[in-house]
Amino acid sequence: MSIWIVKAVVQKIISFLPRSQKINYLFQKYITKGVILTDEYFIDRLLHAQNHVNYFRKYSSITNNFNVLELGTGWYPVIPIYMFLSRSDKIYSVDISNLVSEENLKQTIAKYYQFYKNSELNKYLKEIDKGRLNVLFDCYHKQDKLKIEQLLNLLNINFIVGDARRLPLQSLSIDLITSNNTFEHIYPKILINILKEFNRVLKQKAIMSHFIDMSDHFAHLDKKISIYNFLKFSDKEWSLIDNTIQPQNRLRITQYREIYSKVGIKIVEEINRKGDIIKLKEIKVDKKFQNISDKELAISHSLLISINNNK
């Protein structure tokens, strides 16, 4: 049996169990090794954060004391700490479940400390606020004495556990909203309402920067299938494979554009990875996707930059 099928079956079973997210974390940590804070994962997140900040500074006149909202906290708060070092005033990170443990937070702080001491951090964060850096180092040296709440308070980070369609934030309060590998896990109707809520909390001329991974995530583990493998299934077939703990909506770039347009969000930059049309042609895509050109269907990742002009 293929590795991806085994993972799909296991995650499907886990999704029906109590505390499914915790069980899935343990499954990925000890079996698939998918949630370990490796240098590779850390660098990947630093690059995402660097892109978000660079585009924010490109389109916004604000240089410091800006408010940030991250959609999809994940297991390790690399992005929020990056925003803290980039002089963000208030940092909110929302997720449907509380995935960041005290251990994971301290591991993330330690990784920042390690990269700074090895002179690696400045490759990804060129304008480091020295005062903020000292606070981070203080958190590192005192982490055995400090609880997660104290560490988060020192780093200006506020975790929101709940539905991003109903944020406990004031209207016109956020300067930058980001996400990384999150949109692809949200079904269209829910994503539309999340974006509507983002329009409410965004200030006029505020920026959104969302990185979307449109590849089949099972291919990250099983190299015998391509990143387009899931496009061969009908919606009915995919519903039997998909799960609620790590769902994949299979949306393509054309459909994300349609969702943005429907909500009234104007994309000012779209940075795409063109993908591999030869690999795409190795499978027979389901009729659901056959009205999309091969060029656009093959796009595997996209960074969507938008400016809020709705107020």
Residue spans per domain, the chain = 37-214+251-307
**pLDDT for 311:** 54
Single-letter residue type at 253? I
**pLDDT for 97:** 87
Identify the sign of the CA torsion 126, 181, 299, 197. Answer: negative
**pLDDT for 18:** 83
Which residue from 87, 140, 148 is spatially nearest to 114, judged by alpha carbons?
Answer: 140
Given a cut of 50, the residues of the chain with pLDDT beneath it are none
Q: Are 242 and 248 in contact (CB under 8 A)?
A: yes
**pLDDT for 34:** 66
Q: Are 52 and 21 in contact (CB under 8 A)?
A: no
Name the CA radius of gyration of the chain, rounded.
20
Phi, psi of 93 (to 5 degrees): -135, 120
pTM: 0.94
Pair of tokens at residue 31: 């079996």
Three-class SS state of 182: coil
**What CATH number matches the domain at 37-214+251-307, 3.40.30.10, 3.40.50.150, 3.40.50.880, 3.40.50.1100?**
3.40.50.150
Q: CA-CA distance, 70 to 91, in Å (whole number)? A: 8
**pLDDT for 33:** 66
